[in-house]
Structure 1
Amino acid sequence: MFLIFGSDNLSIRLADWIGARSRVRIIGLAEDLVPMENVEIVALPTEMELHEMPLPDVSPTAILILEEIICDDDPVFELKKIWPNSPILSTFEIEGAEIISVSDLTATAIQDKLRSIDRKQGAGEVVRKLTEIKQAEVLIVCHDNPDPDALASALAMQHLTTSLGHSATIIHGGMIEHQQNRAMVKILDIEIRKVILDWEVEDLLAKSDIVICLDFSHPGANNILPEKCVPHIVIDHHPSDTRPAGDVILVRPEFAATSSLMASVMMNSNVEMNSRVATALAFGIRTDTLGFTRSFNAVDLRALSWLSAWIDNELLRSFESPPRTQNVLSIFTEALSNAKLDNGLMLAPISQLSDRDALSQVADFLLPTENVNIVIAYGVRMGKVILSARSSSSELHLGKILSSKFEKGSAGGHKSVAGGQIPFEELDCETDSQAVDKMTKILSEIFGGEN
């Protein structure tokens, strides 16, 4: 969490901005403070000493002193007695605090500074949480049908937790079907368990001291956890409209991959990295950024640079390009035959979806086609229409569009990469053909086609 002392315009703006992303408490004068969503507001009648104020019971990620409302002779000294490890920043000269000059920095620049601190402190919070309990039973949960980013992150978390003396189990729902994913699990010898039944999940949760969500942030949405489950740690890079529940929340959309976030966590631990984990994380970053060409940011570059000392390129190549199955080739054949282009929108319906992970391969393959701005490959499986969407348009946010349209289903994602699984009942359909036709109509209406 963040702690702000002040009630001027800058204090309120920063509290409001932080509140949309993390926990924050602002302590200021009652006459100046205004209501804000997702912000803990402490309104003081006048300036006072720290021991008179209602302070948080957790160590802040950072402390900002933006107005002189603390009456102690040495506020920084008093704050350090309470929270010795929390960075203290101030916009005015105060002994012991890091100065942020408002004349040189705008609120945006301060936000960038806080992001940097938050990344380091957030990773540190994960490690601190994992060291609170000795020899714990840790449950690492991936989203359904885990991709290389989720698999790599789970492997890294298992390495971290076992190195700290815990016992760790990795679980997932759905299937591991993509040839790269299967090869990755086999070659890296990732111990991962598929869970199907509700009682299995309940039994695992009851036995676990620490539950960790990786590459997703909300239990019950495209994962096997019950909706009411509150995990201990959440690590994800996908944006979320609502703040996830949990003890430690490390959700950072500025990262292009959860593997980059896990690398950041490993950087801030004293656990030794190895080539198996580093190679997996590098592959997770590569696949989620489509070979470093999609949403690849400075934080991802830093993570990859740090991992480079341990990456085994020969090992990486062994699961980077495994042979495609005949099922995948059949899906490609049908997708290419059915694909229709209309006003920049290419829809590729597939009637026989024997391998759901082939959808993403089809979408990635078709996007570079001439005059194509959006590609959506979709097909029916087990009473749901599975979607995989790609876009090269800077004006659209695929994830937000799909999540707003299919509120009951599980749909969403990033600006240029998204997906979903929409149940037949939301489409008001009973048969596979009806569902495909209905989805074709909906997608054409959403994205501007005329079918």
Structure 2
Amino acid sequence: MHPARELAELLGGAEELTIVCHNNPDPDCLASAFALGRIAMAAGIDEHHILYSGEISHQQNRAFVNLLDIDLTPFEPAAVRDRPEGSLLAFVDHAVPGANNRVPEGTPVDVVIDHHPNEAIEAGFVDHREHVGATATILTEYVRELDTEMDADLGTALMFALRRETLGFLRGATPAEYDAAGWLHGHADGALLRTLSTPSVTGATVDAIAEAITNRTVRGSVLISGIGRTSERDALPQAADYLATLEGVETAIVFGVVDDGIQLSARSTDSRIHIGDVLDGAFGDVGSAGGHREMAGGEVPLGVFADFTTDDAQLFAIVDQVMSARLVAELNLSTEADTREPVKDEPN
């Protein structure tokens, strides 16, 4: 049986669906949850909820939720723990309770749809495809297979998710993404896609990216940068995307203190490096980290760092030293940096 039909059959026997996004959800996760909710409604489920934890702080993500009117609810443990009989629990774009989500470890999951590397998935229905570039690709296939009613909001959400997850089809895109995009083209709102692609940027985001540029350290083709404390979590992947384009840089890793944790974001075009494995190897014993060959992220609790000092400058000096040392060791880099200079204006 086609996975879409198997899923529809499972949903048809349920009365309620709770869809849990991963922490700080991105467009791929949000669009996939949006599409799964539509599929559930078509299967006869009158009530479904989309839950998220963390923040929706990236300016594109905020615009995505607001302009497409996606109904989200902040995660509360009771929403999962106290679900009524006949309710199903679904994960999209992540797979394991307690890993990049606030669902307690060991919680039974009914549906998992994901494309990230993972070997510990347990659920009643699992569609796990590491070979595709986005979870939205899988959900687009479902929508097509099941003849789910489409409108401009759903078409735009899935199309934008495909574009954002693959950086405009330049990173990790497969024929499946192009096929999905070709079908979605007739359902998406072009003007809305352009608006989502060029949202306004906060001053705090610009400051964080500037800090990453100033603090960069380059060893060979690897760039590492710490930006101190920031309220703009999503400035980290934006900084990593930008720094990865610098001449001679094949791998860029950016980290910073956000609330009570250290967030990391990494990008790599070096065929010798699986950046998800690198972050997992460097920080898997003290936090959660991992991802794809070319794109990865992670989080390390401040823990003893926060207990050592309340001064942000002193705190980040320690964080910077420890995080950089772990990355240097994992990547087997020289301890001598090639450069650590701010970007300077070209002479007139």
Question: What TM-score, normalized to structure 1?
Answer: 0.69
From 295, 306, 317, the equivalent of 1:417 is 295
Correspondence 1:355 to 2:232 = yes
> In the TM superposition, what is the alpha-carbon distance from 1:206 to its structure 2 partner?
4.5
User: Secondary structure in 2 aligned to 1:254?
Assistant: coil
> In the TM superposition, what is the alpha-carbon distance from 1:200 to its structure 2 partner?
4.8
**Match for residue 183 of structure 1?**
63
Correspondence 1:198 to 2:83 = no
Correspondence 1:439 to 2:319 = no
> In the TM superposition, what is the alpha-carbon distance from 1:132 to its structure 2 partner?
2.4
1:352-393 Cα distance to aligned partner (Å, 9 max, x none) = 221111100000011111110110010012332100000011
Indicate the structure (1 or 2) with the bigger Cα radius of gyration: 1
Correspondence 1:217 to 2:95 = yes
**Match for residue 107 of structure 2?**
229
1:299-341 Cα distance to aligned partner (Å, 9 max, x none) = 1111111211211111111222110001101101211111111
> In the TM superposition, what is the alpha-carbon distance from 1:429 to its structure 2 partner?
7.5
CA distance in 2, matches of 1:288, 1:371: 24
Correspondence 1:142 to 2:11 = no
**Matched letter for residue 242 of structure 2:** F
> In the TM superposition, what is the alpha-carbon distance from 1:270 to its structure 2 partner?
3.0
**Matched letter for residue 268 of structure 1:** E
From 331, 335, 340, the equivalent of 1:450 is 335
The answer for unaligned runs of 5 or more in structure 2 is 310-314, 337-348
Judged with a 3 Å threshold, the aligned counterparts in structure 2 of structure 1 residues 208 and 381 are, in CA distance, closer, same or farther, namely farther
**Match for residue 405 of structure 1?**
282
Question: What TM-score, normalized to structure 2?
Answer: 0.89
1:120-159 Cα distance to aligned partner (Å, 9 max, x none) = x2232212211223xx111011000000111111111112
Correspondence 1:254 to 2:124 = no
Correspondence 1:338 to 2:208 = no
Describe how 1:374-389 pairs up with structure 2 within 5 A: 374-389=251-266
> In the TM superposition, what is the alpha-carbon distance from 1:342 to its structure 2 partner?
1.4
Higher relative contact order (CA 8 A, sep 6+): 2
Describe how 1:283-322 pairs up with structure 2 within 5 A: 283-322=160-199
The answer for unaligned runs of 5 or more in structure 1 is 1-60, 62-120
Query: Alpha carbon RMSD of aligned pairs, Å?
Result: 1.8
**Match for residue 148 of structure 2?**
271
CA distance in 1, matches of 2:239, 2:123: 36
> In the TM superposition, what is the alpha-carbon distance from 1:404 to its structure 2 partner?
3.1
Judged with a 3 Å threshold, the aligned counterparts in structure 2 of structure 1 residues 289 and 427 are, in CA distance, closer, same or farther, namely farther
CA distance in 1, matches of 2:85, 2:231: 35
From 112, 116, 124, the equivalent of 1:238 is 116
User: Secondary structure in 2 aligned to 1:351?
Assistant: strand
Contact kept, 8 Å, 1:238 with 1:252, in 2: the verdict is yes
From 124, 132, 150, the equivalent of 2:13 is 132
> In the TM superposition, what is the alpha-carbon distance from 1:257 to its structure 2 partner?
0.4
Judged with a 3 Å threshold, the aligned counterparts in structure 2 of structure 1 residues 332 and 208 are, in CA distance, closer, same or farther, namely farther
> In the TM superposition, what is the alpha-carbon distance from 1:198 to its structure 2 partner?
3.3
**Matched letter for residue 32 of structure 2:** S
The more displaced of 396-405 and 149-158 is 396-405
